[in-house]
Amino acid sequence: MTHKRDREATRARLLECARLRFARDGYDGTSVRDVAGDVGVDPALVFRYFGSKSKLFTEAMATSSAPVVLPDGPVDELPAKLLRQLVFEDWAEYAGEHPLIAMLRSASHDDMRDRVRQQVCDGYLGVLQELADGNEDADLRTELFAAWLLGIGILRTAVGTPTLAKATEADIAPHLAAVGEALFGRPIPVPEVPT
Amino acid sequence: MTHKRDREATRARLLECARLRFARDGYDGTSVRDVAGDVGVDPALVFRYFGSKSKLFTEAMATSSAPVVLPDGPVDELPAKLLRQLVFEDWAEYAGEHPLIAMLRSASHDDMRDRVRQQVCDGYLGVLQELADGNEDADLRTELFAAWLLGIGILRTAVGTPTLAKATEADIAPHLAAVGEALFGRPIPVPEVPT
DNA sequence: CAGCTAAGTCATCGATCGATGACTTAGTCT
DNA sequence: AGACTAAGTCATCGATCGATGACTTAGCTG
C-alpha cells in the first residue's frame, strides 16, 4: 500500500482537468489556478510538473486516454466515419466536442492556429483525398468537404443552431450521401447507424 | 474650423480600432489599453464613453460604416450571394473576415455564443429557408448549407488550409452549384464572377 | 480677457494571472 | 527510530487588466 502521493497519478489528473477546462473555456479562459483547484492541488505544482501554462496545454491536447485516431477502411465509408467522429462522437475528455473544434476556441493565438491547421492538413485532408481522386480540383473538393464537416460540428455545438443541435446521425446521413456524391462524383453509402 | 477636440469623432475612431482588435485578437486578447493606444488617447476615456469593455465590444460589433446587410433578390441567387458575403468579401473593418467569423474568436464567452447564434438564426437561416421549401427536413437542409458556408469561411481564414485559402470565387462557384442542388433539389445558378 | 463647459488626462485601486524559490510533509529504506 | 528523498505547499513577485474619481486643459462665448 504505497503512494498516497503518486507523482504520475497527480500528473495524469492535472492533464485530465486541463483538457476539460481548455476545451470548454479556451486557453485564455482557463487559469492554472483553475486546473490546480479542480485537482485539489497547489498551483505551483503545475509549474513544477509542466514548466508553463503553454506546455500544459500542449501536453493536455496531445495526450488522451481516448486518442484521436484517423478512420481507415474502404474509402467510400470514410465520409460517414468522419462525420461520426467529428460531429457525433461524445468526446467526454474534451467537454463533449471533437478536440479539433475544442481547440478552435483557443485559435486567437497564432500558434494554436498553426496547430489546428497542421492537424487538419496532415490528418483529415489526407484520408479524404483518395475520395476526390480522378476529379479535377481534387484538393479543393477535399477541403470543401472537410469544411462542411467542420461547419456542421461548429454550428451544432459551438453556435448551437436549433435543428442541427438536435439532429441525429440518422437525420444527417442521407444528406451526407447526397453532398458527398455531388462533390466527389461517386456514390457515398449511407452509414449504418446503430439503433 | 472648430473642434480639434471632437467627442463624436474620437468615439468613432475608438469604435473603429476596437472592431479591428476584437476581430483579429478576440475579446480576451484585446485590452482597453490596446484600443486606446491605437487611437492615441487615454484608456480612461474609453470607460467614460462606453462604460465598460463589454459595452465597447457590443457597440463595436453592432455599428459599422459598412454594415452587414442580408442579401435579397431571386432565391436561386441567394447561395452565391451568401458565399460572396461570408467568404469572399473583404471586411476591412473587421480585419478581413466576415463579422460573424470574427466574432467566433470570442465565443468562449457564453454571451458571445448567444449573440452569434441569434445572428445566424434570425438572419442567415431565414433568408436561406425559402430555398429548402418543398423538401422534407427543410430546416435541416438549410442549416446544413449554412454550416458549409461557415465552414468554408473558417477553413479559409481562421485555419488557413492551403488550397481553400488561395481559392477564388470562380473556383468554388461550380461546387456551390452542385452542393446546392444536392441539398435543395433545385438548380443553383453559377454566380457571375466579375473579372 | 475672463470664465464656463466639455474633452481628455493622471494617479491609483483591487483583482487576477503566470511564474519562482524556499519551505514543509509524507513515504520509504536501513 | 531516524534520515533521506520526492511530493506537495506557502509566500511572494512583477506584470497586466478593468475600472474609478479627481484633476487639467482646450475651446467657445460674452
Q: Does B187 touch chain A (CB under 8 A)?
A: no
pLDDT of residue B1: 43
Longest dimension (CA), chain A: 65
Give the model confidence (pLDDT) of B144-183 as tens digits: 999 999 999 999 999 999 999 999 999 999 999 999 999 9
**Under a CB-based contact definition with an 8 Å cutoff, are residues B71 and B82 in contact?**
yes
Angle at B19 between CA A28 and CA A115, to 5 degrees: 40
CB A125, CB A142: distance < 8 Å: yes
Separation of CA B75 from chain center: 21
Residue B16: pLDDT over 80: yes
Per the CB < 8 Å rule, is A116 touching B159?
yes
**Banded pLDDT at A187 (limits 50, 70, 90):** confident
pLDDT > 80? residue A190 = no
Instruction: Show contacts of A133-139: CB within 8 Å, 24+ apart.
Output: A134/A185, A135/A184, A135/A185, A137/B171, A137/B175, A139/B162, A139/B163
Q: How many other β-carbons are positioned within 10 Å of the β-carbon of residue A121?
A: 17
Residue B193 has pLDDT above 80, yes or no: no
Length of chain B: 195
Residues of B whose CB is below 8 A from A183: 175, 178-179
| CA of residue B60 to C1' of nucleotide D19, angstroms | 19
Residue B9 three-state SS: helix
Q: Which domains does chain A have, with CATH numbers?
A: 7-62 (1.10.10.60), 75-184 (1.10.357)
3-state secondary structure of B20: helix
The three cell numbers of residue B32 are 482597453
Instruction: Check if the beta carbon of residue B188 is closer than 8 Å to that of residue B77.
Output: no
Q: What percent of chain B has pLDDT over 70?
A: 96
**Which of A113, A137, A171 is the closest to B140 by Cβ?**
A171
Binary contact (B163, A139; C-beta < 8 A): yes
pLDDT at A193: 64
Mean pLDDT of the region B15-30: 96
d(C-alpha A183, C-alpha A145), whole Å: 7
Instruction: Inform me whether the pLDDT recorded for B61 exceeds 50.
Output: yes
Confidence of residue B67 (pLDDT cuts 50, 70, 90): confident
Q: B23: which 3 cell numbers?
A: 476581430
Burial class for A1, CB neighbours closer than 10 Å (0-12, 13-18, 19+): exposed
DSSP sequence for A150-183: HHHHIIIIII--HHHHH--HHHHHHHHHHHHHHH
| Calpha distance B71→B126 (Å, rounded) | 11
- Predicted confidence at residue A194, as pLDDT, reads 62
Contact A117 B160 (CB under 8 A): yes
Whether residue A147 lies within 8 A of chain B, CB to CB, comes out as yes
At A27, list the grid cell.
Answer: 486557453
Contact A161 B143 (CB under 8 A): yes
Q: Which of B188, B179, B112 is nearest to A147 (CA)?
A: B179
Quick check: A76 pLDDT over 80?
Answer: yes
Q: What is the CB neighbour count within 10 angstroms for residue B130?
A: 14
Average pLDDT, chain A: 93
Chain A contact probe: residue of B163, B168, B169, B183 with most A CBs at under 10 A:
B163
Q: Is there contact between A54 and strand C, defined as CB under 7 Å from any strand atom?
A: yes
Residue A66 reports pLDDT greater than 50: yes
Residue A168 has a pLDDT of: 96
Percent of the residues in chain A that have a pLDDT greater than 70, as a whole number: 95
3-state helix, strand, coil in chain B (%, to 5): 70, 0, 30
Q: How far is A183 from chain B (nearest CA, A)?
A: 7
Tell if A3 CB is < 7 Å from nucleic strand D. Answer: no
CB contact at 8 A, A108 and B101: no
pLDDT of residue A2: 43
Q: Is A96 helix (H, G, I), strand (E, B) or coil?
A: strand
The answer to whether residue A15 neighbours chain B at the CB level (below 8 Å) is no
φ/ψ region of B186 (left if φ > 0, alpha if ψ in -120 to 50, else beta) reads: beta
Q: Which of residues 161-180 of B touch A (CB under 8 A)?
A: 161-164, 167, 171-172, 175, 178-179
pLDDT value at B111 more than 90: no
The mean pLDDT of A30-45, rounded to a whole number, is: 98
Model confidence band, residue A64 (pLDDT cutoffs 50, 70, 90)? confident
